Structure formats: C-alpha cells, structure tokens
Amino acid sequence: MSRRAQSIVFFLLVLGLCNWHLDRGFNANTLSRAAMVAAVVEHGTLRIDAYHHLTDDKALVDGHYYSEKAPLPALLVIPFWWTAKTLGLITPGPHGLLTEDLLALGGSLCGSLPLALMILFVWTRLRDRTTVWPPATMATLPFLGSFLFVYSGSFTGTSSQHSSSSMRGTNAGPNTTSRAVCWPGRRY
C-alpha cells in the first residue's frame, strides 16, 4: 500500500473514532454557536432572537440577541448547513433548523476533524522513526486518552484550540502570554 493510501486509511479510521460520539446535547455553549448557524441559514441574520431562550450564552444588543461565542466555528459550519438545507437533507425540528443534527455536524467539523488532522500530522512525523511502540499507537494514545478526545465531538472551539496549542507546545489557555490567565468560573 502506498504511503498516501496508508495516510488516507489511517485518517479515516481516526476520524471515525473521533466521530464515534458526537455531542447532541442541548447546553448553553454548543447551542449559542448552533443558534448563530441556524439564524443565518434560516433567517439570513446573525441575530439569534428566535433561539435565544435556548441558551444563556447570548448578548443583548439594541433589543436583539447575538451569540457570545467566538464566531469562527459557527462561520465554518454555515456553508455546510446551508448546503444541507438547500439539498433538502434537513428536517426542521421544534426549534426550526436548530436541531441535534446541526450540533452533530458542528461537533464533527469543529471538533473531530481538527483532532483527526492533528493525530494524522503526528503519525506522519512518527512513522519513519524507530520507536518501541508502533507509530499509530504513539500518535493516537496521547490524544484519544486526553481531554481533547472528550471534547472532539462537541460543537465548541475547545478541541481545535487545545489541539493546536498542544502541537505548538504552549499552554492551551485563552491567553498564554500574560501572568493572569482568566479561566471560566475562577475569580481574580
């Protein structure tokens, strides 16, 4: 099997593992991002007024609600969710286009895919080296045995943020240069 074919097979296996459990749970964090996607696709606006009652992660600006979350994960999912809607692949639920399937798609694209790419990157760097353990084991265990895997199927920015930070060898926190790092729930 060619190296390219090996890489494709390895990537698909890892992506399958990362997608094994996609978080479809309704919580404030994931729903805030999903609400933005649904609002853009269903109503053509960034305002999440139609969904604001589902999440506490929202901002009220001039009488309209917006997601408080960083917009990149939602912006990445919008074209895929719009395409699925256009092709008639989406069945609206009780909250319109904000469905469990949207949460699963967001988790796959923004959590599982980045993690699988990180594992593939590590594996391609290790496969030509002589190691005690097989390169596939050395590449997957540190990731799949950590919090990165736990968040990989959730529609948050956490998995991709922590994955890229761990690859750089830096602290995975939100602000890695200052001495006072702000963590949720901690008072300073």
**Tens-place pLDDT, residues 77-96:** 999 999 999 999 999 999 99
Going by pLDDT thresholds of 50, 70 and 90, the confidence category of residue 67 is: very high
Distance, in Å, from the CA atom of 43 to the CA atom of 166, rounded to the nearest integer, reads 38
Q: What is the pLDDT of residue 28?
A: 83
**65-95: burial string, b at 16+ Cβ within 10 Å, e else:** bbbebeeebbebbbebbbebeeeeebeeeeb
pLDDT reported for residue 157: 62
The amino acid sitting at 150 is V
Instruction: Flag whether pLDDT at 179 surpasses 70.
Output: no
- Output the pTM of the full model: 0.76
Contact 52, 32 (CB under 8 A): no
Average pLDDT, the chain: 83
Which residues have C-beta within 8 Å of that of residue 51, sequence separation ≥ 6?
A: 31, 35, 38, 39, 95, 96, 98
Report which listed range, 20-24, 27-31, 68-72, 145-149, is most confident: 68-72
Quick one: pLDDT at residue 161? 47
Say what the pLDDT of residue 168 is. Answer: 42
**Span 92-113, mean pLDDT?**
92
Statement: residue 56 has pLDDT above 80: yes
